[in-house]
Amino acid sequence: MNEIEYKIYIDDVIRRVESARLKVSSYHIVKIVAVSKYSTSDEIVKLYNIGQRAFGENKVQDLKAKATELEELPLEWHFIGNLQKNKINNLLDINPTLFHALDSLELARELQKKLKAKDMILDTLLQINSAKEESKHGFMPEVALEIYKQILQECPNINLKGVMSIGAHSDDKNIIKKSFETTYNIYKELPNATVCSMGMSGDFELAIECGSNMVRLGSIMFNK
């Protein structure tokens, strides 16, 4: 695809996000984070050139490499993957816009310690395992609200801004929908939360209709 074709292609993706959000309300604004984990820096630049600013990676080393290579561009970097404790300092060196996947109390405590030592604040989302899948990270829905409040109390350098979920792994739309609703219902109960990050290339319209205001789109944004 040349640049014009790519722009037309992306306009269509944006139109789909638009029509899903308008089903919720004209005031419901949805942000697109372009997940570049399967894409090169050159491909990121192509998307930047047609207007995209927020990008996400799921590995600290990839985030570091791409953020460094593209540091001249005014990009916003999101870290959407699981964070190992021994990678915390590497992540903080990049100072990402938002960390989407806080998934244990142990990690929260370690993150708090390192943030305090560096005198930094990190905007963060609590990951919720809304479909209770063995293969996924995150807190169980039953404990999420309690844990969220506990982290707010215990970890002043972690600025919790909401929740993140990956939709249920299923072909049944109702099961996926239920998983998004579970996360949205928790989101609504949270004190001062502003971000509900859910929806990927295969299910973003459903996620938005269930209340998501941040979608993480990988393959569809890079036409893979």
Ligand X SMILES: *Cc1c(COP(=O)(O)O)cnc(C)c1O
> Nearest distance from residue 166's CB to ligand X, in Å?
6
CA dihedral 67, 72, 77, 81 (to 10 degrees): -10
76 backbone dihedrals φ, ψ, rounded to 5° = -115, 125
**H/E element, 34:** strand 31-35
Task: Provide Rg for the chain, Cα atoms.
Answer: 17
How many chain residues bind ligand X (CB under 6 A)?
13
Verify binding: residue 80, ligand X, rule CB under 6 A: yes
Nearer to ligand X by Cβ, of 122 and 215: the residue is 215
Which residue reads 């993957």 in tokens? 81
**H/E element, 146:** helix 141-154
Binding mask 112-141 for ligand X (x = CB under 6 A): ------------------------------
Binding mask 147-186 for ligand X (x = CB under 6 A): -------------------x--------------------
Six-digit token pair at 62?
């990839």
**Which single residue brings its beta carbon nearest to ligand X?**
218
Six-digit token pair at 191?
């004190």
CB 38 within 8 A of CB 218: yes
Q: Quick one: which segment of 65-73, 140-148, 187-195, 210-218 binds ligand X (CB under 6 A)? A: 210-218
> Nearest distance from residue 160's CB to ligand X, in Å?
18
Q: Can you tell me which of 107, 145, 208, 217 binds ligand X, judged by CB under 6 A? A: 217
Six-digit token pair at 144?
């999420």
Site for ligand X in 18-37 (CB under 6 A): 35, 37
Q: Can you tell me which of 201, 205, 211, 223 binds ligand X, judged by CB under 6 A? A: 201
C-alpha span between 223 and 198 (Å, rounded): 20
> Nearest distance from residue 77's CB to ligand X, in Å?
14
Burial 101-123 (b: 16+ CB within 10 A, else e): bbbbeebbebbbebbeeeeeebb
Positions in the binding site for ligand X (CB under 6 A): 35, 37, 58, 80, 166, 200-202, 216-220
